[in-house]
Amino acid sequence: MEIVANEFATVSVSVDDRGNGTRLRLEDLRTGTVRHLDALELESIVWAPESWMRALLDPSQHRWRDAERGPDQESLGES
């Protein structure tokens, strides 16, 4: 497990091999929220356009859009 941190966020990063294949496990250590990313999702992120990443960083797109709902229920670009 590695920690990726700066003054704004602290995320632990590890490779999770408990299932039938390896996944990247990301945990927002400030809230305990976990997201797994598989290889095709990671490749897609690598190739995602900058505009998509900028949209992702808009707080109202996910975490602070609705306090009741976590990122799983949100869908970027369709709000």
Partner 1 sequence: MTAVDVDHARTDHAGTDALADRIRSLVLPDRVHGSIYTDPDVYARELERIWYATWVYVGHASEVPEPNDYVRKTIGPQQVVMTRDKTGAIHVLHNRCSHRGNLVCDAERGNAGSFRCPYHGWTFANTGDLLGFPFNQGYGGSRARAELPGLGVVPRVEAYRGFVFASLAPDGPTLREHLGAAAERLDRLCRLSPSGEVELTAGWVKHEVTANWKMLVENETDGYHPQFVHSSIFSISGSGIGALYSDKSTAVTRALGGGHTENDLSPEFRRLGVPMGWAGTPEAKIPDYVAAMRAAYGTETADEIMIDGSPHVMIFPNLFVAEIQLFQIQPLAVDRTVQHVTAIQFKGAPDLNRRLVTQCVGSVGPAGMLLADDAEMYERNQRGVAQRQPEWLDLTRGVHRERVDDDGHTIGTATDETSMRAMWRHYRELMT
Residues that bind partner 1 (CB under 8 A): 16, 18-23, 36, 38-41, 72
- 13 in Cβ contact with 22 (< 8 Å): no
Instruction: Give min distance, CB of 23 to partner 1, in A.
Output: 5
> What is the closest distance, in whole angstroms, from the C-beta atom of residue 47 to partner 1 in the complex?
12
Q: Which is nearer to partner 1, 59 or 77 (CB)?
A: 77
Closest distance to partner 1 from the beta carbon of 14 (Å): 14
* φ, ψ for residue 36, nearest 5 deg: -100, 140
Residues sharing a CB contact under 8 Å with residue 59, sequence separation 6 or more, in sequence order: none
